[in-house]
Chains A and B, each alone.
Chain A
Amino acid sequence: MSDAIAERLRQVAGRVEHDEGGIPRALPNDGAEAAAVLGLAHAEGWRARVEGAGTWCPTDAPADLALATTNLTRIKQLAPGDLVATVEAGLAMTDLDRALAPHGVEVALDPPGAPERTLGSVLATATAGPRRQAVGPTRDHVLGLAVATGDGRAVRAGGTVVKNVAGYDLAKLAVGSFGAFGVITEASLRLRTRPARRLSMLVTGGFDPLFDAGRSLAGLAIDFGAIELASPGLTGGPDWTLAIQLAGTDELVASMAERVRAATPALSWLEARDDAARQLADALAQGALDGPVTLRLGALADAIPELLHQLGEVVPEGRLSAGLGRGGVRWTGEAQARAIGELRQRAAALEVPITLERAPWPVRRAAGHFGAYREGVGRLTAKLRDVFDPSRVLLVPLEAGDG
């Protein structure tokens, strides 16, 4: 069967190989080929999983075929003057950053995970890092997308300019929906100018004093690049770590650092030299992989203590980071679907949605990426999936039991 599928795929996709389990893997060369692969799967009733670099979510969905974005690595347009780049989705975040650096610009996304993680993975899962405090959630960086839908259409959403309200905002639907509506093949991204200086300051201590300090700092008129509280499990130290990031000219950064110290005289801040700052960034990024399950908890900063209390009653301590400006918590550790379900119910009472960012297939399938739907959300989501992927080619368990 898999040989027959591979043979058919070869007729529409550039290259086809088999993965370790013998499943045919199509490696399309562009968005049109990706759409053709899905169109064929739709016509034949095959089920497909989408793979990037395979470093974030396990590539373990029991599909008839895999569609890998490995060959979609071109930077199709780079306009530093306009602060816009159009990039294929299989490009690794680290390669994208390397290409942008000589032009003095960057995509201000600092998602957790390995540096080889692809842009497509970051967008499809909407995983954002500590810099979301300053630059907003993942969706705010996307100006336009090309998407191959589950039934094989190539659809373009948005555009390549920084402001655009033409038509419905289909890009919002694709970002963060785990590929349930289609495969992102290309994205136009908002760029930012790289600051002359970036400074990380760290302080360690107990949760309560650091939480209070972080919240009071967040209320100051300082444009923080990040204000993140990391658990001992995440950093490997004995205490919690409050990390802030400041960015700008040398003069501005020095002045902001001074104001931070003045506002928190009881804290012994360390100015992380490059190595220490990188170590912490690595801990925040890699710590999210240090356990089989990662959850994103959409909490306002003031709700975080109560939420962590609820979390502690249901799952082990794990590795935690919490944004003390715009809020948001990421937890990585061991959890079964039942615990995730219970946690979702508890968090829903606090108006906090929980998104399953990564987990092995049995947990993903049993818990769903999303749950505790509010009124109307499940019905609308199902109807929208009918629009983009009527025969459910894309093996994505958006809710418990899907797939």
Chain B
Amino acid sequence: MSQAGGELVRALGAIVGPRWVRTRLAERRAYEADGLPTHHSVPRVVVLPGSRDEVAAILALLARGRIPWVARGAGTGLSGGALADPETVLIPLTRLNRILAVDGESRRARIEPGVVNAKLGEAVAPLGLQYCPDPSSQAACTVGGNVAENAGGPHCLKYGVTTNHVTALDVILADGSLARLGSPHGDQWGPDLVGLFVGSEGMFGVAVEITVRLEPLPATIRTLLADFSSVRSASEAVGAIIAAGVVPAALEMMDQGTILAVEASIYAAGYPTDAAAVLLVELDGASEAVEIDDRTVTAILRSAGAREIRSASSPAERARLWQGRKKAFGAMGRVAPDLVVQDAVVPRTSLPQVLEEIGAIGARHQLTVCNVFHAGDGNLHPNICFDGRDRALAERVERASREIMEACVGAGGSITGEHGVGSDKREYMPLIFDAPTLETMCAVRRAFDPTERANPGKVIPTHYCREWRETRAR
């Protein structure tokens, strides 16, 4: 209690009501981690606002006290981005969970940031519409968190990631002031500040209202499962499908390690356990378009060496095939106490070579790396199961993770495709950005938050920000 500061707690309680301020260690511990198992930090105090006005009042209060803070959605992020240290106030936005308006004609929804991704989908489905970004955690993650991370998901191959679906944002800045960015159409009142804000990992402010674009539910969906006797032939099929001009709604790959974990779990989907890799291909759209794409894709899969191609014959079978994919991370949780879910992107044509390199890195460090990923856009998720209590093992995992990142960057890729940088990948940023660019990012952040109190210490290694300030001071 004393650590939180009695005066601060009282002032926060005056804004949100005392029951929405969490000060006990046991309560605060509930927020000590997000979906990344390797990072823990207990916040100074947790405050749960119930309205956008309360968010503004909290941020104004914290600005007066120059107190750092972190906004948080459901805490499902995988980069340690929603962690607050003992000096920092944590602001979960889960109470701001109202869908404010849905305009079926114009295909727009206006929502609060704490709306759960899947709940938005459920709410608009009766209108024949969908919200496309579908992270694997969509049953729990919030759209506000998706905005902060520019989240993706399997169906982003065809429909785009979060930034392609957000047209307007009401944002509370770190000084407590309001900025209204974008418009229902998506054009801007000035430069593209919505585009800049999405993916800023909670370091520019808090989005308290989000306008998203909805898409019609597809008339036809076809889900194919193809299994291969080698990872290389599966990844070559991926390249061939993309090069043929087919844009599947989703094109996912799972290797044998993943298949075995899924099939041994309650999420068993009927994947062939003797396959080196399976591809899950989903085609959607008008029925004639799906029919034509199906013929093209099936021919490519066959010529790439698919042993069997199965087409889901019912919605239930489709759901089962997808459940295996979406719960693959959960299934791996059975294998060992800890799981590192990596996230990197490579050019699609380098998938075969990079996957072999990742296998070699795992072997070198005596680790099992399982791959389950968005193959269609080259977004890899190499996963390493381990027991974090074994320090030596944990260090090997860390070294292997860095080598995997270096291999992906060496192939012309990026250190993250959808999970964000957060705390986890901050030190990898210099692998892909030079000093002037990193310093510019620091300065851009300061345009939104001059005292750097919003989600402090994430994304950019701190010395770049220091150097920028020193350069400007000279």
In the complex, the answer to whether B447 meets A173 with C-beta atoms within 8 Å is no
In the complex, the answer to whether A173 meets B189 with C-beta atoms within 8 Å is no
In the complex, the answer to whether A169 meets B150 with C-beta atoms within 8 Å is yes
Residues of A within 8 A of B180 (CB): 374-377
In the complex, the answer to whether B292 meets A381 with C-beta atoms within 8 Å is no
Distance (Å) between the CB of B105 and the closest chain A CB? 5
List CB contacts (< 8 Å) of B151-175 with chain A.
Answer: 152, 156, 160-161, 163-164, 171, 173
A80 at the interface (CB under 8 A from B): yes
A223 at the interface (CB under 8 A from B): yes
Residues of B within 8 A of A164 (CB): 345, 414, 416-417
Bound form: Cα–Cα A384–B188 in Å:
16
Closest to B244 in A: A193
Which of B194, B438, B447 has the largest count of A CB atoms less than 10 A from its CB? Answer: B447
Residues of B within 8 A of A126 (CB): 192
In the complex, the answer to whether B188 meets A176 with C-beta atoms within 8 Å is yes
Closest to B408 in A: A161
In the complex, the answer to whether B440 meets A155 with C-beta atoms within 8 Å is yes
Mark contacts of A288-322 with chain B using CB atoms, 8 A cut-off: 1 yes-contact digit, 0 otherwise: 00000000111111110000000000000000000
Residues of A within 8 A of B347 (CB): 79, 82, 84, 160-161
Mark contacts of A161-189 with chain B using CB atoms, 8 A cut-off: 1 yes-contact digit, 0 otherwise: 11111111110110111001100000000
Given A163-B152, A163-B418, also A173-B412 (CB < 8 A): no
Given A156-B433, A172-B195, A221-B216, also A300-B184 (CB < 8 A): yes
Interface residues on A, range: 35 or more
Bound form: Cα–Cα A328–B377 in Å:
29
In the complex, the answer to whether A328 meets B187 with C-beta atoms within 8 Å is yes
List CB contacts (< 8 Å) of B177-203 with chain A.
Answer: 177-181, 183-196, 198-200
B245 at the interface (CB under 8 A from A): yes
Given A80-B243, A82-B349, A248-B289, also A162-B190 (CB < 8 A): no
List CB contacts (< 8 Å) of B327-355 with chain A.
Answer: 345-349
In the complex, the answer to whether B286 meets A355 with C-beta atoms within 8 Å is no
B288 at the interface (CB under 8 A from A): yes
B285 at the interface (CB under 8 A from A): yes
Distance (Å) between the CB of A371 and the closest chain B CB? 8
Residues of A within 8 A of B292 (CB): 248-249, 251-252
Closest to A386 in B: B447
Bound form: Cα–Cα A83–B345 in Å:
14
Residues of A within 8 A of B144 (CB): none
A139 interface neighbour in B152, B192, B245, Cβ under 8 Å: B192
B445 at the interface (CB under 8 A from A): yes
Bound form: Cα–Cα A172–B183 in Å:
16
Given A300-B106, A370-B189, also A163-B199 (CB < 8 A): no
In the complex, the answer to whether B349 meets A165 with C-beta atoms within 8 Å is no
List CB contacts (< 8 Å) of B386-436 with chain A.
Answer: 412-421, 425, 429, 432-434, 436
Beyond A248-B292, A376-B179, 15 extra complex contacts between A and B, CB < 8 Å: A81-B243, A81-B349, A155-B440, A156-B434, A163-B345, A163-B418, A164-B416, A165-B417, A167-B459, A173-B196, A252-B289, A300-B108, A375-B178, A376-B181, A387-B440
> Please, could you name 5 A-B residue pairs with CB atoms under 8 Å apart, sorted by A?
A79-B349, A81-B242, A168-B445, A170-B196, A300-B185
**Residues on B facing A (Cβ under 8 Å):** 105-106, 108, 149-150, 152, 156, 160-161, 163-164, 171, 173, 177-181, 183-196, 198-200, 216, 218-219, 239, 242-245, 285-286, 288-289, 292, 345-349, 374, 377-379, 412-421, 425, 429, 432-434, 436-438, 440-441, 443-448, 459-460
